[in-house]
């Protein structure tokens, strides 16, 4: 058994990979004035109680650190909303982004995976991220939304500007030291808004059979989504729809490489592919942390957290809590049950989980069919994302 953390020396950046320490599941970081939550029961408690642990974390960020709201429309962000507003928006967008819409994509995902792997074969090399894990989800989400997938170089530039940065928010560091970093996210956000607003307006005039049209036309109790919220939600779908799934695909192949006996088992029993995807989500959680803020004083994991505090809930660490998972450092697709928190939990549970799971399963089926062995190339370095909260490879050359 090879340990991915040691082999790639990622325990400094992705410190949470060491897993929850049962004796200290909740820790206050005086340097940043942020509470870090590492334990599984504590993470579950937070995600299941939106009245105490609000998703509106922007209210605690020092003034001047984030751009003004007219430049950076955080109000319509579903991930920042609490009940009852959250429920209303979630109902509306769910009426457009249904399980059937996702399930119908399966044949397209399979044929696209085949085409991308054919193109890689012609080029004579397979770098998993560039050749498959990035283009597959980005083309799928672009086609689903109804924006040209040929614009994906643009989407990549925006996503890189937002996520390929090693920014760490601190409530204590002077605003001037941090605001330049935060402002750098403004340009890609504005460009994305303008791009998607153009497409959404078009759909208002000329409806098409795409998700953007469905979002423009979605109606619950006679109410439609305001135009700016259609745009904000489309931005979230475009970004969340590919960045995390890219990491999931790369991480799964990395796990099967590091645990070759598991790869053999999954090959021999294809029905275990969905379980291997779930275990990959637990073992290398792509989106390692979600933020919350306390609305009142709360007892959590043996400590008292005052009101109006910012918490980072390290779901990646919770997914390695020995109180919940036996041998958490072992990649075991046979794990059952596997109550990982990689998609969150409760009212904000990832809306795209069915799509991410479908893409993961189909891509892995095709990869295993076409490649008798999936192995990293020992002569070519694997590269990881630079941000502690995003766990995934951005370069994965295979032999
Ligand atoms: C929410 C992870 C793929 C759309 C979330 C949350 C997590 C997450 C942890 C909860 C955030 C919170 O509680 O604050 C992931 C991972 C993915 C993935 C690990 C892939 C492996 C996707 C995809 C889409 C998507 C493919 C869309 C196409 C969303 C949306 C929300 C969300 C819209 C907000 C839901 C709400 O606030 O009610 N995701 N996601 N995600 N995700 Fe995903």
Q: Which two tokens stand for residue 83?
A: 């009940």
Ligand 1 centre distance from Cα of residue 245 (Å) = 10
Inter-CA distances, 376 with 3, 259, 370, Å: 14, 12, 16
> Which class for 341: exposed (0-12), middle (13-18), buried (19 or more C-beta within 10 A)?
buried
Query: Are the CB atoms for 15 and 38 separated by under 8 Å?
Result: no
Nearest CA to ligand 1 atom 3: 352
Report pLDDT for 156. 85
> Quick one: average pLDDT of 64-87?
77
Could you tell me the pLDDT band of residue 188, with boundaries at 50, 70 and 90? confident
Ligand 1 centre distance from Cα of residue 304 (Å) = 29
Ligand 1 centre distance from Cα of residue 49 (Å) = 18
* Range name among 259-268, 355-364, 367-376, 385-394 with the lowest pLDDT average: 385-394
> Quick one: average pLDDT of 174-195?
76
Ligand 1 centre distance from Cα of residue 240 (Å) = 6
Report pLDDT for 241. 85
The C-alpha atoms of residue 238 and residue 301 are separated, in whole angstroms, by: 36
Ligand 1 centre distance from Cα of residue 280 (Å) = 16
Report pLDDT for 398. 95
Nearest CA to ligand 1 atom 21: 245
- Residue 355: asked if its preceding bond is cis (omega within 30°), the reply is no
pLDDT exceeds 90 at position 74: no
Site to probe by mutation for ligand 1, drawn from 347, 352, 354, 359 as the one with most ligand atoms within 8 Å of Cβ, is 352
Could you tell me the pLDDT band of residue 140, with boundaries at 50, 70 and 90? very high
The radius of gyration of the chain's CA atoms, rounded to the nearest angstrom, is: 21
pLDDT exceeds 80 at position 82: yes
Ligand 1 centre distance from Cα of residue 389 (Å) = 14
> Which class for 143: exposed (0-12), middle (13-18), buried (19 or more C-beta within 10 A)?
middle
Average confidence score pLDDT of the chain:
90
Report pLDDT for 180. 65
Q: Which residue has the higher pLDDT, 74 or 352?
A: 352
Nearest to residue 141, comparing CAs of 125, 155, 153, 130?
A: 155
Report pLDDT for 1. 42
* Range name among 12-16, 22-26, 169-173 with the lowest pLDDT average: 169-173
Nearest CA to ligand 1 atom 26: 241
**Residue 360 Cα: closest atom of ligand 1:** 21
> Quick one: average pLDDT of 260-288?
97
Query: Are the CB atoms for 18 and 11 separated by under 8 Å?
Result: yes
Is 4-398 a domain of CATH 1.10.630.10? yes
Could you tell me the pLDDT band of residue 167, with boundaries at 50, 70 and 90? low
Percent of the chain clearing pLDDT 70 (strictly above): 92
Ligand 1 centre distance from Cα of residue 343 (Å) = 6
Alpha helices in the chain (DSSP H): 4-7, 40-47, 85-96, 99-103, 106-123, 128, 135-145, 152-163, 175-183, 186-205, 211-217, 227-240, 243-258, 260-268, 273-283, 315-318, 353-370
Nearest CA to ligand 1 atom 17: 244
**Which residues, in sequence order, are CB contacts of 398 under 8 Å at separation 6+?**
126, 127, 128, 253, 371, 374, 375, 376, 377
> Quick one: average pLDDT of 231-241?
91
Nearest CA to ligand 1 atom 5: 350
Report pLDDT for 20. 84
CB atoms within 10 A of CB 265: 16
Report pLDDT for 72. 60
Ligand 1 centre distance from Cα of residue 349 (Å) = 7
Ligand 1 centre distance from Cα of residue 1 (Å) = 31
Ligand 1 centre distance from Cα of residue 377 (Å) = 31
Q: Which two tokens stand for residue 54?
A: 């609000």
313-360 pLDDT, tens digit per residue, is 999 999 999 999 999 999 999 999 999 999 999 999 999 999 999 999
172-184 pLDDT, tens digit per residue, is 777 666 666 666 6
Report pLDDT for 139. 95
> Quick one: average pLDDT of 253-266?
96
Could you tell me the pLDDT band of residue 142, with boundaries at 50, 70 and 90? very high
**Which residues, in sequence order, are CB contacts of 12 under 8 Å at separation 6+?**
none
**Residue 233 Cα: closest atom of ligand 1:** 33
Report pLDDT for 67. 60
The C-alpha atoms of residue 201 and residue 185 are separated, in whole angstroms, by: 24
**Residue 93 Cα: closest atom of ligand 1:** 33
Ligand 1 centre distance from Cα of residue 362 (Å) = 19
pLDDT exceeds 70 at position 161: yes
- pTM strictly above 0.90: yes
Nearest CA to ligand 1 atom 10: 344
Name all residues whose Cβ lies below 6 A of ligand 1: 55, 78-79, 90, 141, 236-237, 240-241, 244-245, 248, 286-287, 290, 342-344, 348, 350-352, 355-356
Report pLDDT for 11. 82
The C-alpha atoms of residue 129 and residue 392 are separated, in whole angstroms, by: 10
**Residue 347 Cα: closest atom of ligand 1:** 38
**Residue 285 Cα: closest atom of ligand 1:** 19
pLDDT exceeds 60 at position 69: no
> Quick one: average pLDDT of 7-18?
83
Strand-pairing partners, residue 303, are: 300
The most confident of the ranges 2-11, 65-74, 306-315 is: 306-315
Site to probe by mutation for ligand 1, drawn from 350, 351, 363, 364 as the one with most ligand atoms within 8 Å of Cβ, is 350
């Amino acid at each position: 058994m090879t340990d991915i953390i040691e082999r790639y020396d990622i325990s400094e950046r992705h410190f949470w990979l060491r897993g929850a320490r049962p004796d200290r599941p909740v820790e206050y970081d005086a340097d940043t004035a942020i509470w870090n939550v590492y334990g599984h029961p504590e993470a579950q408690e937070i995600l299941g109680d939106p009245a105490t642990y609000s998703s509106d974390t922007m209210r605690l960020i020092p003034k001047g650190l984030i751009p003004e709201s007219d430049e950076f429309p955080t109000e319509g962000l579903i991930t920042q909303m609490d009940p009852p507003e959250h429920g209303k928006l979630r109902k509306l967008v769910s009426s457009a982004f249904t399980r059937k819409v996702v399930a119908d994509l399966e044949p397209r995902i399979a044929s696209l995976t085949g085409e991308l792997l054919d193109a890689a074969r012609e080029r004579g090399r397979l770098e998993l991220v560039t050749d498959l894990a990035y283009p597959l989800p980005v083309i799928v989400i672009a086609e689903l939304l109804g924006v040209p997938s040929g614009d994906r170089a643009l989407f990549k530039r925006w996503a890189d500007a937002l996520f390929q940065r090693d920014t760490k928010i601190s409530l204590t560091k002077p605003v001037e030291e941090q605001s330049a970093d935060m402002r750098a996210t403004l340009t890609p956000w504005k460009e994305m808004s303008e791009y998607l607003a153009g497409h959404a307006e078009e759909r208002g005039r000329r409806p098409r059979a795409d998700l953007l049209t469905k979002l423009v036309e979605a109606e619950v109790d006679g109410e439609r989504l305001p135009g700016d919220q259609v745009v904000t939600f489309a931005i979230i779908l475009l970004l969340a729809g590919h960045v995390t799934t890219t990491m999931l695909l790369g991480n799964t192949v990395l796990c099967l490489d590091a645990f070759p006996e598991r790869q053999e088992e999954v090959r021999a029993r294809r029905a275990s592919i969905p379980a291997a995807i779930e275990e990959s989500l637990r073992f290398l959680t792509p989106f390692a942390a979600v933020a919350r803020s306390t609305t009142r004083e709360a007892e959590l994991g043996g400590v008292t957290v005052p009101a109006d505090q910012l918490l980072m809930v390290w779901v990646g660490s919770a997914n390695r809590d020995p109180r919940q998972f036996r041998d958490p450092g072992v990649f075991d697709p046979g794990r059952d049950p596997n109550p990982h928190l990689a998609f969150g939990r409760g009212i904000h549970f990832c809306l795209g989980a069915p799509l991410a799971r479908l893409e993961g399963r189909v891509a892995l089926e095709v990869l295993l069919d076409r490649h008798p062995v999936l192995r990293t190339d020992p002569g070519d370095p694997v590269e990881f994302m630079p941000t502690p909260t995003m766990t995934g490879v951005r370069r994965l050359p295979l032999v």
